[in-house]
Amino acid sequence: MTSDGRTVVVTGANGNVGAPLVDALAETDATVRAAVYGDRQEFEAEVETVHFDFDASETWGPAFDGADSLFVLRPPHISRVEESINPAVDAAIDAGVDHIVTLSVMGAGKNGFLPHRRIEKHIEATEAKWTHIRPGFYMQNLSGTHRAGIREYDEVIVPAGNGAANWVDTRDIGELAAAVLAKGPEVHHRQVYEPTGPEALDYHYVADVLSDVLDRDIEYNRPGLIRYIRHMRRDTDSKMGLILVSCLLHTIVRLGRSERITDDVRRVLGRPPRDLKTFVQDYAEVWAA
């Protein structure tokens, strides 16, 4: 992967997408500035870090100073993007940023009420060049939000019925975003990428893969919303707002609206996306009983 030596600011750098994005960008000749909230750092590369908070405008200047490109990742707790994220984008452009890559969600283009789409529309109306990345269903949900059910109860506890999801490894999302940022705005301006995994899989299949790799029986019993909410409140540290969002996402899966597969990972990275078995093998220790 090559780069034109641009300075790239990555917000959300210590997350599931930001960390592999930082690591991939560090392999180019781009100058990487990891904008993190707090002290937790999940990436391996030795790069410049700066404290950043969309809700604290005093942190914007040091992050954007001398930057050319910006990766915008909306923190889950921010829904009023017009009060924080969009003004931060404007500050970045005023500081000289000319290419903005957004992390959005699949289907955002058809739903103007989503905060992701409101960010996209704001950026599209500016003078900056832009690229939107709208991924499918995160495999890392299994190693994060749903880890407790698998580890403690040998069960995938999600209210998704028999619906299938277009599972994508967030490492593929981060590496795709890094390729877009490294190439610069001329190559990827006005492009929308929707990275997914290689196939749509239901949770019965997910449980079978977990069982095979972990060498113990993992079940999926199609729990309803009430049991799911009780489990999440009892066994995880998830806030009620995030639990309700998760219920909505899994309802979309249950209705068969998360099955669409794209070839965008291969098209941008020149290789196929990681499959679910590879993901489970790589993260097996997370679910150790």
Please provide the average confidence, as pLDDT, over all residues in the chain.
95
Residue 2: what pLDDT? Answer: 47
The long-range contacts involving 212-217, CB below 8 angstroms and separated by at least 24 positions, are 212/277, 213/277, 213/280, 213/281, 213/284, 214/280, 214/284, 214/287, 216/154, 216/289, 217/154
d(CA 262, CA 229): 32
Q: What pTM does this model have?
A: 0.95
d(CA 240, CA 254): 21
d(CA 8, CA 280): 31
Percent of the chain with pLDDT over 90: 90
Could you tell me which of 121, 105, 101 has the C-alpha nearest to residue 179? 101
Residue 58: what pLDDT? Answer: 98
In terms of DSSP bridges, do strands 164-165 and 201-202 run parallel, antiparallel, or are they unpaired?
A: antiparallel
Structural domains for the chain: 7-134 (3.40.50.720), 140-166+198-259+274-287 (3.90.25.10)
pLDDT in tens, 58-112: 999 999 999 999 999 999 889 999 999 999 999 999 999 999 999 999 999 998 8
Residues 6 or more apart in contact with residue 124 via CB below 8 angstroms: 130
> Tens-of-pLDDT digits for all 289 residues of the chain?
545 689 999 999 999 999 999 999 999 989 999 999 977 777 889 999 999 999 999 999 999 999 999 999 999 889 999 999 999 999 999 999 999 999 999 999 998 889 999 999 999 999 999 999 999 999 999 999 999 999 999 999 999 999 999 999 999 999 999 999 999 899 999 999 999 999 999 999 999 999 999 999 999 999 999 999 999 999 998 999 889 989 999 999 999 999 999 999 999 999 999 999 999 999 999 999 7
